[in-house]
Amino acid sequence: MSVDEAVKELVEAAQLAKGNAYAPYSRFAVGAAVRLTDGTIIGAANFENASYGLSLCAETVALAAANAQGRLGDVEAIAVVGGDTAPVTPCGRCRQILNEAEQVAARPIAIYCATRGDDSVVTYSVAELLPFAFGTKDLGCTSSRTSQE
């Protein structure tokens, strides 16, 4: 599969996941999909709550799903789909969570942002979206994983 085909497949998975968004308050549905190093794709959608601060963004749900499968370190890319006229980018909270995931993966995570009905995709890195990020190095940690082993 070519790079363009892989990106298209990931964006399509995010678009499909967007259909499962629970966004009765903002009415702003967002879908996300992460691709793991073995090609596995995990899709997710935003999940709002009447207590707005408890709402979950699609990107966070997708990364949490990868983590729940023990695969956070295998994330290599994420696609985000939402909005009508311009590609939507992850919010500040999601950017910080992507930064953490990138530290766990110990490799760059590509971020593909697209609109819902358009073929145009904008690619970002975590560093572009979150310069001067706070991370494990700021806490003196060598790894962001803790283990009970």
Torsion over CA: 148, 40, 61, 133 (sign):
positive
Percent of the residues in the chain that have a pLDDT greater than 90, as a whole number: 80
148 falls within a domain: no
pLDDT band at 148 (very low <50, low <70, confident <90, very high): very low
Residue 146 pLDDT exceeds 70: no
Average pLDDT estimate for 14-36: 97
For position 56, what pLDDT does the model report?
Answer: 98
pLDDT for 113-127, tens place per residue? 998 655 689 999 999
147 falls within a domain: no
Considering the chain, what is the average pLDDT of its residues? 91
pLDDT top residue among 128 and 137: 128
Average pLDDT estimate for 44-73: 98
83 falls within a domain: yes
Burial class (CB in 10 A: 0-12, 13-18, 19+), 134: exposed
For position 86, what pLDDT does the model report?
Answer: 84
CB contact at 8 A, 68 and 39: no
Would you name the residues annotated as active-site residues?
59
CB contact at 8 A, 28 and 1: no
50 falls within a domain: yes
77 falls within a domain: yes
**What CA–CA distance (Å, rounded) separates 115 from 108?**
23
pLDDT for 90-112, tens place per residue? 999 999 999 999 999 999 999 99
24 falls within a domain: yes
For position 137, what pLDDT does the model report?
Answer: 84
61 falls within a domain: yes
Question: Which residue, among 47, 26, 114, has the nearest Cα to 78 in the 3D structure?
Answer: 114
Percent of the residues in the chain that have a pLDDT greater than 70, as a whole number: 90
Number of independent structural domains in the chain: 1
CATH of the domain at 42: 3.40.140.10
**Residue range(s) defining the domain that contains residue 8:** 3-139
65 falls within a domain: yes
pTM value > 0.85: yes
